[in-house]
A = this chain, B = another copy of it.
Amino acid sequence: MKIKHIGLLGLGTVGSGVARIIRDHQEKIQNQFGFSVQVDKVLVRDPKKIPEEFRGSFTVVSDYREIMEDPAIDLVVEVMGGIDFAKECLEAAFFNHKPVVTANKDLIAAYGKDLTRQAEEAGVSLRYEASVAGGIPILRALRESLAGDKLESVTGILNGTTNFILTKMTQEGADYAEVLKEAQALGFAEADPTSDVDGLDALRKVVILCKIAFGADVPMAKIPVQGIREVTPQDIQLAKDWGLVMKLLGRIQTSEQGEIFAEVAPFLVAKGHPLSQVDHEMNSIYTQGKASGTLMFYGAGAGELPTASAVLGDLLTICQELEQGVRPVAFARYEQELAWMSEDEVQARHFFHLAMAKDSQSLTPLLDQLGIHLEKSLVVPHDSKEGWTDFVGITELISYAQRQEFMAKVEACDQLVLRSVYGLMD
């Protein structure tokens, strides 16, 4: 039986998972594809750290050229993470006409366009299913299964760490800082949680989804991002009483006029909405298409084996392309020019929480002036300043421009202090 030879860059969590699946699922792979897959060479920084179970099963190298320039290697799998060195490796792979599978969202969000072009010029594939939502096969579904549909919106719980934290805060009424510590102890959050809790990890996935679902090259800097550091147990509880659940969402929406808008922010999701029920470290992507209607994909967004499973799907597709001798079509082949939607057009109901001086008459005229109507509101005790009270409300549909104006006016008013504003998703 023919063998496909793999060069693996990185043997951390995901890399070990890839090596394990290839070793343990060989029979199924051979059965389906008529070839077997073998990890021949692995690039690692410290050869001493190779786990016992893998000793002797592949050649360990410390210079990536030993993989890229080896004519026996059919395909390169990059699971190191990081940007600059990974980019250098991928470029060397393409230079040597080797196809690449990567799980590296940072790299693809930053340099996907450029790397796609290089792969195309080299006549080889570049695939990165594992870069978005780990084990959930969302990119292939968007690109292939939904190729004939026109998507209208894609909304996802794209980061397991923040979903774990928000779920705990919701279930236990606990504080952000407290739950973060617990998440770190359990290995669900990194020692430096910035990339997760500030929404940057979700942002990178949104950039990749913009491209694969809508063919849009949206620069990261264009997309507004808000993390979860400021989320309070009090707001979670108040929203819960109104049937709303706090979730960090990545959202991409388009208009009939061919515009796009993307954002990452904590949203309050109505309890009936399928995304409201995605808890703990799970991820989920919810799509609306003209033909397909509502679809939802749910699963593990990270972890050794789920992520490795996504890598394997890509790897086997490319091995089959090699077997068939086809010149592959770029994975990110869809390309359209979409204008950025103006803040007048993006609309949502909003939850807001203000502190106001007890005798203040400022809020009602301000809302009237901006044409903001409230669906419901509540006065709750203020927790610090004497002579103040808290006011929580849910607006009818308002534009993001109205929200901005509202926030600016509140900022300018002595008698009002804005504590939080969240969009609603229903």
The interface of chain A, by Cβ under 8 A from chain B, is 17, 21-22, 24-25, 28-29, 31-33, 129, 135-137, 140-141, 144-150, 215, 274, 277, 282, 289-300, 303, 305-306, 308-313, 315-317, 320, 324-327, 329, 333-336
Contact = CB atoms under 8 A, between A and B. Distances in A.
B292 A135 contact: yes
B316 A292 contact: no
B147 A316 contact: yes
A320 B330 CA distance: 12
A31 B17 CA distance: 36
A291 B313 contact: no
A290 B306 CA distance: 9
Given A33-B333, A135-B291, 17 more contacts: A25-B290, A25-B291, A28-B148, A129-B145, A135-B292, A137-B295, A141-B141, A141-B145, A147-B312, A148-B312, A274-B277, A274-B298, A291-B309, A294-B298, A295-B298, A295-B300, A296-B297
The 8 closest A-B pairs by CB, nearest first: A148-B312, A137-B145, A291-B309, A296-B298, A295-B299, A291-B305, A145-B313, A292-B309
Contacts of A310: 145, 292
Nearest to A305: B291
Contacts of A317: 144, 147
Contacts of A141: 137, 140-141, 145
A300 B292 contact: yes
A33 B325 CA distance: 19
A149 B293 contact: no
A213 B378 CA distance: 52
A310 B333 CA distance: 20
Nearest to A315: B148
